[in-house]
Amino acid sequence: NDIVNARIANITISQSQTGKTVENKPEWKATVKNDCICTQSDLKLNCNGFQTVEDVESSVMSKSGGECLINNGGPVIYSSNLSFIYAWDTSFPFKPISSQVICS
């Protein structure tokens, strides 16, 4: 579906090191942003192979198999930022795979 693909392309994930280390691994802050004017819910990222030595706040990102659900499946509104912290040797290449688009 081209419309859905265009909207999922409006989900950006930026990452930066926080400067802290956890179990000798750098801590990363991942920020999920919706650049689409439409709200998106039930947003899932591909996180197959994702590892962390630091617990991730499950209300922001919860992993199930190779998918990660953002914001418990709740709405990610336009220009809002949702961030979570994890710790691993390298940043993980999170990629949005699906969402429900809500346009009024």
Give the domain ranges of the chain.
2-102
Residue 93 burial (CB count, 10 A): 12
φ/ψ region of 72 (left if φ > 0, alpha if ψ in -120 to 50, else beta) reads left
CA atoms of 40 and 80, how far apart (whole Å): 11
As averages over each run of 10 residues, the pLDDT of the chain (104 residues) reads 66 97 98 92 96 96 96 93 97 95 80
Give, in order, the Cα–Cα distances in Å from 41 to each of 24, 71, 73: 35, 8, 6
Residue type, 53: V
98, β-bridge pairs: 44
pTM, entire model = 0.89
CATH architecture of the domain formed by 2-102: Sandwich (2.60)
